[in-house]
Chain A
Amino acid sequence: MGRDVKIINATLESPMDMRVISPRVKKEDYELAKRISTSPEMAACLRKMAEII
């Protein structure tokens, strides 16, 4: 529209880190799964979450 504008690059690189994991089902996960009524795969994920917490 003919207005005087200047485009600046405002990208701020904030440091970030990401990991992708898919926990392997261990023996203990079968017991956990039974205790909290869920699948062993899900139990492995929950165990991993608890470890990180």
Chain B
Amino acid sequence: MLIFVNTRATAEVIGSRLKLMGLPIEVHHGSLSRDVRVSVEEKFKKGELKGLVCTSSMELGIDIGNVDHVIQYNSPREVQRAIQRVGRSGHSLDRVSDGTMIAMGFDDILECCVIARMALTGIIESFKVRKNAKDVLANQLCAYVMEGEQDLYKFYNIVKRAYPYRDLTFEELSEVAVELEEAGLIRRMDGYVRKRRRATSYFYDNISMIPDEKKYEVRDIVSDSIIGTLDEAFVVNTGTPGTTFITKGEMWRIVEVDVEHHRILVEPVVVEGEVPNWVGEEIPVPFEVAREVGILRGIIFNKTMRIDEIAEMYHTDRQTLSKVFGIIKKHKGEVPDERTVVVEEHRDESSIVINACFGHKVNETLGRFIVALLSYRAGSSIGMEIDPYRIKLKVPWGLRAGDVISLLKESVPEHIEAVIELSLKGTNLFRWKFVNVAKRFGIISKDVDWSKVNLRRLLDVYQGTFVYRETIDEILYERMDVERAKLVLDMIRRGEMKVVEGEASVIGKAGFSSARDLLINERGEASVLEAFKERLNREQVILFCVACKNYKQKIEVSRVPEQPRCPVCGSMMLAALKPWEEEYVEYVKRHGLKGKEKSKVERIFRNANIVMSFGKRAVIALAARGVGPETAVRILNKLREKEDDFYRDILEAEREYARTKRFWD
């Protein structure tokens, strides 16, 4: 039995829980080492395991032996993926492939039903092949001239035989050749092309068009521990301070992104009921599936079919359908379906939700388009989140549903592409993509040292060139669907698609919450403070007597007495220093100091004064990161009665330091 899930994180959660229930199963996904994966596959084949919890890692290629049944947990999102996955069972000609989709939540149930119907009636979403990708062309041209001088026109005729390049013009190919010549990879002469020395290493370095996945280390500032790693793609696409996400079953908020050291600093999220902004490596829901979900909503709302008929047509049962029936039947006003866009004001979250059953790519396109125009008008930036059925705008005060509706009705479809292009410039996503494209044209070497590259200048130089164009094309192909977004706006103009205002509804609020299933514990603030206290008390400090200058000892904070005294001279003037401040102790013993050294000594005396006045509490505060004598005094002077309040103040100071650290160093 195979249990397919959509993300590695889900695989871990489901796997660990099934193991706790005593089932002989294992987890299989791309983040596990090859050795682990192979051994799990072997065990499964031998029948030692009853099930594997897996991601797309198990979709293709691997011979896994007999599989009786496939479970898909949550919607597989694409019809072809459902067929691929369920097809792993009964893997021979005469046996029936058998699959069960386990759905949770409103969107999920409807989506699974639609995908089951489409799959079993043989309707698969359309598949778009990227046309005229220039990076692949550049790489292939270098490969072609590897053996010696070649005729460019001959190459052109060969390339045109391939389907994705059927419409390529010779001028477009020539542009690529010019770019490669400028990068010093080839030489052109009278229609002939010859390789230069660098071409060989360029060719081998860039055979794969998949960018190297760099990992970011994720460090929790509260416990000062590494909690895992995140893909670079996540960090550049969504990783801005404030973003919340789930990893290892817990929710975190980004405090600071450190691009140079490939590190992000996070803090635990304690607000109950908060929904993470970032869900994970999400598979986009195609337009066709999202639209049929709209149709199904309409069928239920308008009662055009009985519940039993629907259950039969969509391969499900009454009980499962009853979970969505309740929500749709209670809906007031018009239900958002395949022909109706409903715009809702959600005042409690100061957001506007555009209910739009068009799938991820169209919604991302429309969302970016709307945000670009509204931000321009409002003069301030507007946040956006999308899912396959909604576009959610975080709006500044004063923006109304009516504004969004008139914008959708009056926009010129032909403007979409230009507006989106403009809005992409300057985003992290664009920069990251640009770097990858530039590598594939040999403009930047594959293992570039970032501290030596001025990315902004590079972007300026290449502004408007075809490398720039290629970057835009790639983003548009991967994440958006301009053609269908235009179609939607066209339908609105012609009156074939309605845009209406509606009250904040359950349907509008559903979604954006699937990732919450990955949360194992919702932690209380108390547990965060507890972890912080524990860490602070484990920190090492150096106690140094500034009175006799003869006592110096490294000690754990927890072992410091309430009012520390110098065991040599009995003075209470002890400075509590961080381990790396030890070298400054020598300054105190010297005379005639100037400048920096003098100020270090003054700080040590101030430190000792604070410890004398406040005792152990001062030592605790001074052990925290980024807390020097000034901050410590500010915290201690509050004379907090409750211990928790005191620690909370220190934690806040550490957060502040983490946020602003790069300005100090």
Contacts and interface: CB of A to CB of B under 8 A. Distances in A.
Interface in A1-53: 1, 14-24, 32, 35-39, 41-42, 45-46, 48-50, 52-53
Contact of B1 (A41, A46, A52): A52
A46 B517 contact: no
Contacts of B18: 46, 49-50
Interface of chain A, main secondary structure? mixed
Contact of B116 (A20, A35, A38, A46): A20
B307 interface: no
Contacts of A39: 517
B320 A16 contact: no
Nearest to A38: B17
B101 A21 contact: yes
B100 A41 contact: no
Contacts of A48: 102
Nearest to A13: B122
A32 B18 CA distance: 11
Contacts of B93: 14
Contacts of B520: 37-38
A53 B25 contact: yes
Contact of B317 (A21, A37, A49, A53): A21
A37 B95 CA distance: 39
A14 B20 CA distance: 37
A31 B297 CA distance: 34
B102 A16 contact: no
Scoring B25, B119, B320 by chain A CB atoms within 10 A of each residue's CB, the highest score goes to B320
B308 to A, nearest CB: 15
Contacts of B83: 16
Contact of A1 (B73, B112, B161): B161
Contacts of A16: 83, 86-87, 96-99, 119-120
B17 A24 contact: no
Interface of A: 1, 14-24, 32, 35-39, 41-42, 45-46, 48-50, 52-53
The 7 closest A-B pairs by CB, nearest first: A20-B316, A22-B320, A16-B97, A20-B112, A36-B20, A15-B96, A18-B116
Interface of B: 1, 3, 13-14, 17-18, 20-21, 23, 25, 50-51, 69, 71, 73, 82-83, 86-87, 93, 95-104, 108-109, 112-113, 116, 119-120, 161, 314-317, 319-320, 323, 517, 520-521
6 contacts: A17-B96, A17-B120, A36-B21, A45-B102, A49-B18, A53-B23
